[in-house]
DNA sequence: ACATTGACCTGAGAGC
DNA sequence: TGCTCTCAGGTCAATG
């Protein structure tokens, strides 16, 4: 489930807790969670160094290691980070544990092991290797760029929004929210929107993601007008009071209001 | 060349 | 009560 707003929230937590603390060692509790690196090598590359800053692209979080590339965090659908100040027992399903010299730690937790931890020399290399499109909230990702991202896609707009090669950061939950706020039916062909609808969709994308970040990606703190807390079949639509409907679109369960989204 | 579908993984909740 | 079944979904490989 971690999509752009969730990962941005993790990033803020990471920055508040894990920068500028010397890493004493990296303990990998589940080797299979590492991608393109071994636990021995990860520890060797990080021990004695510290995280200097962190950045996000789409659903990926990058921790810049002083003088040595970036640790990549991907969260799959059940991943998150948790920092601890004392030498306590790590949370259940901790897969990688970064120990700091001062006794604190940062845990990468993932129940369903869909995510991974990796190390990359540069963000740019990682982004191009994984074919990621522009970040949905990047300042230079403007309306013109948005339109060309959707260009030449005749299938459902919902799957275009979720296509990380076109736009990075939007997943199943937030694509539903964006389409709901824009009043666009999820099955509409991506390249079949008129100028006005494209505009609505673009500003809904920016607004939804920004508001979700402000709410700390917690649905219970989001505006009343949001569909997200009502993302269940048969729930009342926050727009018209009608009934929210569930339907499989491109293999994913889409929730939408047939009345508000034409 | 494109679009869609299934495997991966584990736990929660439903149904019998 | 307790077992089994289904579903959740990001990404990538395989299929249509």
Q: Is the pLDDT of residue A1 over 80?
A: no
- CB-hemisphere CA count at 13 Å for A42? 25
pLDDT score at A87: 74
Of residues 44 to 63 in chain A, which lie within 7 A of strand C by their beta carbon?
58-60
A185: Cβ under 7 Å from strand C? no
Q: Is the pLDDT of residue A51 over 90?
A: yes
Task: Report the pLDDT averaged over residues A203-223.
Answer: 93
Task: Give A232's pLDDT tier (boundaries 50, 70, 90).
Answer: confident
Q: CA A228, CA A259: separation in Å to the nearest integer?
A: 17
Reduced to 3 states (helix: H, G, I; strand: E, B; else coil), residue A170 is coil
Tokens standing for residue A157: 């707009």
> Is residue A3 flagged as an active site residue?
yes
Q: CA A208, CA A224: separation in Å to the nearest integer?
A: 12
Task: Report the pLDDT averaged over residues A27-42.
Answer: 93
Tokens standing for residue A153: 């896609």
Greater pLDDT, A100 or A233: A100
Positions in chain B where some atom is under 7 Å from a protein CB: 2-6, 8-11
Q: CA A82, CA A169: separation in Å to the nearest integer?
A: 21
* Measured CA A196 to C1' B8 distance, in angstroms: 40
Report pLDDT digits (tens) over A100-147.
999 999 999 999 888 999 999 999 989 988 999 999 999 999 999 999
Q: CA A188, CA A74: separation in Å to the nearest integer?
A: 30
pLDDT score at A260: 94
Instruction: Of A157, A168, A171, A258, give the one whose Cα is nearest residue A217.
Output: A171
pLDDT score at A154: 84
Nearest nucleotide (C1') to the CA of residue A59?
A: C10
pLDDT score at A18: 96
> Is residue A236 flagged as an active site residue?
no
């Amino acid at each position: 489930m971690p999509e752009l707003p969730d990962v941005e929230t993790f990033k803020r937590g990471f920055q508040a807790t894990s920068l500028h603390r010397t890493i004493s060692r990296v303990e990998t509790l589940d080797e299979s969670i590492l991608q393109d690196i071994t636990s021995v090598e990860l520890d060797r590359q990080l021990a004695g160094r510290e995280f200097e800053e962190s950045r996000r692209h789409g659903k990926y979080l990058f921790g810049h290691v002083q003088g040595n590339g970036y640790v990549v965090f991907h969260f799959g659908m059940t991943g998150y980070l948790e920092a601890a100040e004392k030498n306590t027992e790590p949370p259940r399903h901790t897969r990688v544990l970064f120990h700091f010299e001062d006794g604190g730690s940062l845990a990468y937790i993932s129940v369903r092991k869909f995510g991974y931890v990796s190390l990359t020399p540069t963000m740019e290399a990682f982004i191009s290797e994984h074919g990621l499109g522009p970040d949905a909230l990047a300042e230079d990702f403007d309306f013109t760029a948005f339109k060309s991202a959707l260009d030449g896609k005749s299938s459902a707009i919902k799957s275009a929004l979720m296509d990380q090669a076109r736009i990075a950061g939007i997943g199943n939950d937030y694509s539903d929210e964006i389409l709901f706020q824009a009043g666009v039916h999820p099955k509409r062909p991506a390249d079949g929107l008129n100028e006005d609808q494209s505009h609505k969709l673009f500003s809904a994308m920016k607004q939804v993601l920004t508001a979700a970040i402000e709410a700390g990606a917690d649905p219970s703190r989001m505006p009343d007008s949001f569909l997200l807390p009502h993302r269940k079949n048969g729930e009342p639509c926050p727009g018209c009071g009608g009934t929210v409907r569930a339907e499989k679109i491109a293999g994913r369960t889409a929730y939408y209001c047939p009345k508000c989204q034409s």
